[in-house]
């Protein structure tokens, strides 16, 4: 499959590229050059550039959006919200029916409900990101994707993450977020997302929490395992053992 990766030089990008490279032709893009060689092509591209995203999507079968800029208001809206619009418009133009979008866990479950009160938090809730810049800009990107899927034959899978770990670097007793995954394990979800029969997805706009099995029950990754066939590794358990 020919896959366009937006934000491919960012933190998760190299892991995803290495995971997908053996079975796909990759077109990596980012606003900055990668710090290491990535398998496949690489182009400099600003996700907020509609014409640039459109050109990069030509002849592609799927788009994976890893782009993120979370602190500056201008770039956060440019990348996380307008970037999604550009991506979806490019998908329409080039007949691409498979998109994997990414964001933080609070894209749908804002901090006001996730961090304090609740357990068993699932991804299929009406998005309620609150006004946190990162959460809201990604939530608006998700909403744009949803609107496009209502009008076009495009399936979007949203993979939401919280905290990534390098298992070898875990220190005894270190504090950790209630939603953790190793970099390598997270990348494996993208293979599943590219391989899955789109008709097997419940709808054309699906949200998944991608993280390791964790014993405290704060969030639920059940849907990700059930629908995508995701296999959480047991490589971050030293956090709580």
Residues that bind other proteins (CB under 8 A): 48, 50, 73-74, 77-78, 81-82, 85-86, 88-89, 92, 110, 112, 128-131, 133, 136-137, 139-140, 143-144, 147-148, 150-152
Residues 6+ apart with CB under 8 A from 201: 155, 157, 227
- CB of 81 vs other proteins, minimal distance in Å: 5
Which CB sits closer to other proteins, 74 or 175? 74
Number of neighbouring beta carbons within 10 Å of residue 143: 16
The separation between the first and the last C-alpha atoms of the chain, rounded to the nearest angstrom, is 40
Q: Which residues pair with 135 in a beta bridge?
A: none
Q: What does DSSP assign to residue 171?
A: P
- CB of 151 vs other proteins, minimal distance in Å: 5
Distance CA 125, CA 213 (A): 20
- CB of 47 vs other proteins, minimal distance in Å: 12
Which CB sits closer to other proteins, 54 or 235? 54
Which CB sits closer to other proteins, 74 or 216? 74
- CB of 82 vs other proteins, minimal distance in Å: 6
Contact yes or no for 134/104 (Cβ under 8 A): yes
Torsion of CA 233, 186, 221, 163, to 10 degrees: 100
- CB of 192 vs other proteins, minimal distance in Å: 28
Which CB sits closer to other proteins, 141 or 232? 141
Which CB sits closer to other proteins, 152 or 233? 152
């Amino acid at each position: 499959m020919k896959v366009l990766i937006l934000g491919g030089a960012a933190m998760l990008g190299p892991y995803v590229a290495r995971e997908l490279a053996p079975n796909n032709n990759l077109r990596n893009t980012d606003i900055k050059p990668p710090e290491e060689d990535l398998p496949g092509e690489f182009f400099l591209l600003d996700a907020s550039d509609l014409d640039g995203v459109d050109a990069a999507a030509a002849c592609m079968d799927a788009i994976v959006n890893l782009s993120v800029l979370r602190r500056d208001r201008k770039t956060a809206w440019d990348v996380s919200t307008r970037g999604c619009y550009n991506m979806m418009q490019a998908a329409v133009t080039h007949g691409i029916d498979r998109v994997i979008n990414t964001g933080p866990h609070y894209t749908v479950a804002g901090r006001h409900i996730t961090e304090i009160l609740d357990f068993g938090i699932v991804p299929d809730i009406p998005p309620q990101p609150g006004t946190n810049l990162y959460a809201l800009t990604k939530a608006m990107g998700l909403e744009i994707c949803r609107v496009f899927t209502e009008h076009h034959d495009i399936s979007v899978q949203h993979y939401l993450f919280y905290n990534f770990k390098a298992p070898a670097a875990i220190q005894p007793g270190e504090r950790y977020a209630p939603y953790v995954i190793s970099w390598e394990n997270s990348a494996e979800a993208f293979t599943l997302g590219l391989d899955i029969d789109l008709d097997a997805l419940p709808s054309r706009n699906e949200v998944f929490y991608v993280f390791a099995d964790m014993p405290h029950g704060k969030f639920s990754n059940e849907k990700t395992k059930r629908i995508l066939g995701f296999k959480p590794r047991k490589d971050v358990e030293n956090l709580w053992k």
